[in-house]
């Protein structure tokens, strides 16, 4: 996966028309059924995108990393619809908020912009397909293990600061299930457990 999809000249252009916003962890960038006001472009930090159920259950869809944007917001914006997802800040993030009107204008004036959007769509589409594969065909223990590895790769550390509950939420299952499976992984020497921490061995 490439680190940055966005070119320098496009980035400069975007910075000139958008407004910068710093957001701490766990702040909510967007909620399900929100109307979309602006298109967020993540400059650094990361955003966690979740799908939620009526009765509060949720599941992790993907992360938005630096240089990426939330395509859902672009879709929603151009089609004037409500958000179907919830986006919360994972690592504290600097986000460039782009007014919709400007974003639409850019399609005409900056051909690279559309290229950027398409690439993002592609990535997100694939990630959604991966999620579907995972929940349709994989067992929870595999999914948990892969989630741990993904988190380790993303944060570039083997020490993950997470609770069992958080992992359970991201997988869309119960805390007890995660605790059980983590214990198994510990027994098979793949991880070590301590409070608020999972260490990959």
Partner DNA sequence: GTAGCTATGTGACTTTAGTTACGGTATGCC
Partner DNA sequence: GGCATACCGTAACTAAAGTCACATAGCTAC
Binders in 108-127 for a copy of itself, by CB under 8 A: 108, 111, 114-115, 118-119, 121-122, 124-126
Instruction: Name the segment binding DNA (CB under 7 A); options: 36-44, 71-79, 104-112, 170-178.
Output: 170-178
Q: Are strands 47-52 and 159-160 parallel, antiparallel or unpaired?
A: unpaired
169 φ, ψ (degrees, to nearest 5): -60, -45
In Å, how far from its chain's centre is CA 59?
11
Q: Counting runs of H as helices and runs of E as strands, what totals does the chain give?
A: 7, 10
Give the bridge partners for 193, in sequence order: 198
193 binds DNA (CB under 7 A): yes
Residue 46: count of CB within 10 angstroms of its CB = 18
177 binds DNA (CB under 7 A): yes
| Residue 104 binding target from DNA, a copy of itself, none, CB below 5 to 8 Å by type | none
Q: Kindly state the smallest distance separating residue 177's Cβ from DNA, in Å.
A: 4
Q: Kindly state the smallest distance separating residue 73's Cβ from a copy of itself, in Å.
A: 11
Q: Kindly state the smallest distance separating residue 63's Cβ from DNA, in Å.
A: 21
HEC-encoded secondary structure of 113-164: HHHHHHHHHHHHHHHHHHHHHHHHHCCHHHHHHHHHHHHHHHHCCCEECCCH
Q: Are strands 93-99 and 38-44 parallel, antiparallel or unpaired?
A: antiparallel
78 binds a copy of itself (CB under 8 A): yes
Q: Are strands 28-30 and 86-89 parallel, antiparallel or unpaired?
A: antiparallel
Rule CB under 8 A: choose which of 11, 128, 192, 200 binds a copy of itself.
Answer: 128
Measured CA to CA, the distance from residue 103 to residue 98 in angstroms comes to: 7
Binders in 120-149 for DNA, by CB under 7 A: 139-141
Q: Kindly state the smallest distance separating residue 147's Cβ from a copy of itself, in Å.
A: 14
**Interacting residues with a copy of itself (CB under 8 A):** 51, 53, 57, 59, 61, 71-72, 75-76, 78-79, 81, 84-85, 107-108, 111, 114-115, 118-119, 121-122, 124-126, 128-129, 131-133, 135-137, 172
**Interacting residues with DNA (CB under 7 A):** 139-141, 163-165, 172-177, 179-180, 182-183, 193, 195-197
């Amino acid at each position: 996966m490439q680190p940055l999809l966005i070119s320098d000249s496009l980035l400069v252009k975007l910075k000139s028309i958008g407004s910068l916003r710093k957001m701490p962890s766990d702040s909510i960038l967007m909620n399900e059924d929100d109307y979309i006001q602006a298109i967020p472009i993540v400059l650094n930090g990361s955003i966690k995108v979740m799908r939620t159920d009526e009765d509060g259950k949720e599941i992790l869809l993907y992360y938005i990393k630096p240089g990426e944007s939330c395509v859902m917001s672009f879709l929603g914006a151009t089609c004037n619809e409500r958000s179907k997802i919830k986006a919360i800040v994972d690592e504290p993030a600097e986000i460039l908020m782009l007014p919709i009107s400007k974003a639409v204008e850019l399609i005409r004036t900056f051909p690279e912009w559309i290229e950027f959007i398409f690439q993002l769509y592609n990535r997100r589409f694939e990630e959604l397909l991966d999620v579907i594969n995972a929940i349709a065909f994989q067992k929870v223990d595999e999914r948990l293990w892969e989630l741990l590895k993904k988190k380790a790769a993303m944060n570039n550390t083997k020490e993950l600061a997470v609770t069992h509950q958080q992992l359970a939420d991201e997988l869309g299952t119960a805390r007890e299930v995660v605790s059980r499976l983590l214990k198994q992984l510990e027994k098979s020497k793949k991880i070590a457990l301590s409070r608020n921490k999972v260490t990959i061995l």
